[in-house]
Amino acid sequence: MNKHELDWLGLKGRVCAVSGAASGIGAQLATQLAGVGASVALLDSNAVGCEAVAQSLRAQGARALAVACDISSESDTLDAAQKVQAQLGECFALINNAGMLRPGSLDSVSLLDWNRVLSVNLTGYLLTARAFKPQLQATRGAVVHVASISGNYPQSNSGAYSAAKAGVLLLSRQMATEWGPLGVRSNAICPGMIRTALSAKFYEEPGFEARRAEVTASRRIGEPADIADVALFLASPRSAYVNGAEIAVDGGMSSMLMDMVPRPGYNQTS
């Protein structure tokens, strides 16, 4: 990037916090935020992985702080917000990204797994946002929630995950309604099929990637950078009038429903 491109988003020198930053989309978010000059706080329950990403960013000249944090713990989120403010400064953007998946149908998912998924994927987003709210209000900043297309389109055997992500979408709009007048924006991203460490094993199966790509309009699987690009825009002053929005980043998969319905003489395979 040249200097103009580096400063275009207006995030240079601003403090941005990312949860779930030890790997996958979260690590990519932290990397791209550092790449545009932001000071980055990396939050994750995986302290070792989180510190490793932070060290790699610092080695490239970025200001990066790793904070061990279980976002389902109110005390952890409050401590994290305090550390970020003390060591980096007041936070301008929070990207709620941490998440977990416990497979199971509504009939079979254990109450323990159900509660754990909701405590991280939904309640954790609220707790983290509340912990950082005073800083975000002071900086007139933004919250970006990484939800999922599963929040709009249920998937068999992922009942707890889908319900939690649907909750995130309403939480984001509720936050925009309540905090918008205070100067804090809230928006959500709905990723589709994204290649991460959690899904990497799937793509080792011959033909699997091609079958998945075929049900997207873009004919490819998404990468973490595809999500990070949109998240950086929503976190930045460039999206100052975007509030309460939900953006699907799924390569057009959610527009392919009718092409998935068998119609003799109409369906195409390429």
The chain-wide mean pLDDT, for the chain, equals 93
Mode of pairing for the β-strands spanning 246-249 and 185-191: parallel
Once rounded to an integer, what is the mean pLDDT over residues 93-108? 93
CB atoms inside a 10 Å sphere around CB 219: 12
> Known catalytic residue: 203?
no
Mode of pairing for the β-strands spanning 91-96 and 185-191: unpaired
Assess whether pLDDT exceeds 60 at residue 104: yes
Residue type, 230: V
- CB-based burial, 128-148: b 16+ in 10 Å, e otherwise: bbebbbebbeebebbbbbbbb
Percent of the chain with pLDDT over 90: 79
**Residues 142, 146, 147, 149, CA torsion sign:** positive
More confident of the two residues 263 and 203: 203
Q: Does 269 reside within a domain?
A: no
pLDDT of residue 3: 54
The predicted-structure confidence for 163-202, as pLDDT tens digits, reads as follows: 999 999 999 999 999 999 999 999 999 999 998 877 778 8
pLDDT of residue 45: 97
Q: Does 268 reside within a domain?
A: no
Q: Residue 98: which residues within 8 A CB-CB, separation 6 or more?
A: 19, 20, 26, 43, 44, 45, 71, 120, 124
**Residues spanned by the domain of 243:** 3-252
Q: Does 263 reside within a domain?
A: no
Q: Which pair of tokens denotes residue 187?
A: 């928006």
Structural domains in the chain (count): 1
Q: Does 257 reside within a domain?
A: no
Output the pTM of the full model: 0.93
Reported for 114-121, long-range contacts at CB under 8 A and 24+ positions apart, including other chains, are 114/159, 114/160, 116/72, 117/160, 117/161, 117/164, 118/160, 118/163, 118/164, 118/167, 119/72, 120/71, 120/72, 121/161, 121/164, 121/165, 121/167, 121/168
Residue in 125, 161, 203, 266 annotated catalytic: 161
The CATH number of residue 29's host domain is 3.40.50.720
CA-closest candidate to residue 36, choices 246, 248, 245, 238: 238
The predicted-structure confidence for 54-83, as pLDDT tens digits, reads as follows: 999 999 999 999 999 999 999 999 999 999
Q: Does 31 reside within a domain?
A: yes
Q: Does 7 reside within a domain?
A: yes
Q: Does 135 reside within a domain?
A: yes
The predicted-structure confidence for 204-227, as pLDDT tens digits, reads as follows: 889 989 998 998 999 999 999 999
Q: Does 84 reside within a domain?
A: yes
